[in-house]
């Protein structure tokens, strides 16, 4: 009897396989690990951190120094033509620090300092006198005796030119000595002289009807001859190579 009951109880069951329940999910394949990409990401992070550290360190070593914003001619002062810039600190370079800019008023440029130059101490001097072996000569020139646009720092040649006035007031001995020294009229007195000062250096036009007061720096042995010719109004200036 027990056998029949078990058989009868199993007869009503389906032969189909059991289905998974709704809540069950199919297993997913394991993710593929990429150690090379992970190492690259770590390396990029380290490089970025190192770069940021270097920038911070470099910023800490930078100093504020003086830079000129316009050309400064030889013998001229820097004045207000300056600005501040940051540069890397270098003990071998004698920079003029920005906080020292007020002291620049007592200094002159040894030679032309061009726009954009970082100022260092060796470019400046407190000496106001003329360099040994040189002399300064003042000229009063009429229109036609100097080139247009003449400015400090220009290099000029000075010529003796013949005139009808002034020389007649000189005695014959002076005329003979000046004539023999200069070699006659329309002769070269100084081949290279530096213009130290001139009106209109800011770029404005000089009034042609008035005399132009020009100061030249020349070799000391040429100063007397140039001054004598200038007193007789017998000097004309010509720009020569070497001018700014």
- Written as tens digits, the pLDDT of the chain (244 aa) is 455 555 555 555 555 555 555 555 666 666 666 777 778 888 888 888 877 777 665 555 788 999 999 988 777 788 889 999 998 888 888 999 999 988 888 888 877 788 999 999 888 887 656 666 788 888 888 888 898 888 888 899 999 987 544 443 444 344 444 443 334 456 899 998 888 887 765 444 444 446 788 888 888 898 899 989 988 889 999 998 865 5
**Residue 74 and residue 110 in contact, taking contact as beta carbons nearer than 8 Å:** yes
Whether residue 141 sits in one domain with residue 102: no
Whether residue 143 sits in one domain with residue 121: no
Q: What is the CA angle 23-24-27, rounded to 5?
A: 150
Whether residue 211 sits in one domain with residue 149: yes
Round to whole Å and give the CA distance between 212 and 31.
92
Whether residue 208 sits in one domain with residue 191: yes
Whole-model pTM? 0.43
Whether residue 120 sits in one domain with residue 145: no
Round to whole Å and give the CA distance between 139 and 198.
10
Whether residue 161 sits in one domain with residue 107: no
The first and second tokens of residue 28, run together, are 């997913």
Whether residue 169 sits in one domain with residue 145: yes
In a domain, 113, yes or no: yes
Looking at 100, 125, 150, the residue that finishes a domain is 125
Looking at 71, 96, 125, the residue that finishes a domain is 125
Whether residue 143 sits in one domain with residue 227: yes
Q: What does the CA dihedral 199, 204, 205, 209 come to, rounded to 10 degrees?
A: -50
- First vs last Cα of the chain: how many Å apart? 131
Q: Which helix (H) or strand (E) holds 48?
A: helix 35-60
Whether residue 138 sits in one domain with residue 226: yes
Find the domain containing 219 and state its range. Answer: 134-239
In a domain, 46, yes or no: no
Helix, coil or strand: residue 193: strand
Sign of CA dihedral 122, 126, 129, 135: positive
Q: Structural domain tally of the chain?
A: 2
CATH number at residue 120: 3.90.1210.10
In a domain, 5, yes or no: no
């Amino acid at each position: 009897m027990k056998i029949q009951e078990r058989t009868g109880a199993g007869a009503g069951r389906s032969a189909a396989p059991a289905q998974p329940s709704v809540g069950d999910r199919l297993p997913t394949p394991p993710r593929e690990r990429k150690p090379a990409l992970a190492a690259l990401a770590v390396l990029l992070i380290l490089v970025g951190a190192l770069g940021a550290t270097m920038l911070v360190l470099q910023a800490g070593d930078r100093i504020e120094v003086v830079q000129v914003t316009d050309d400064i001619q030889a013998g001229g002062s820097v004045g207000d033509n300056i600005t501040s810039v940051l540069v890397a600190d270098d003990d071998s370079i004698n920079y003029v620090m920005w906080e020292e800019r007020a002291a620049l008023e007592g200094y002159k440029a040894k030679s032309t300092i061009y726009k954009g130059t970082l100022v260092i101490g060796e470019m400046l001097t407190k000496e106001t006198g003329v360099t040994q072996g040189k002399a300064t000569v003042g000229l009063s020139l009429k229109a036609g005796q100097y080139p247009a646009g003449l400015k400090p720092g220009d290099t000029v040649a000075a010529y003796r030119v013949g005139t009808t006035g002034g020389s007649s007031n000189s005695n014959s001995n002076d005329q003979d000595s000046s004539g023999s020294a200069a070699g006659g009229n329309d002769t070269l007195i100084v081949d290279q002289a530096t213009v130290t000062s001139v009106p209109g250096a800011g770029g404005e036009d000089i009034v042609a009807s008035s005399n132009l007061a020009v100061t030249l720096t020349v070799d000391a042995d040429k100063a007397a001859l140039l001054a004598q010719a200038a007193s007789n109004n017998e000097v004309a200036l010509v720009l020569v190579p070497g001018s700014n």
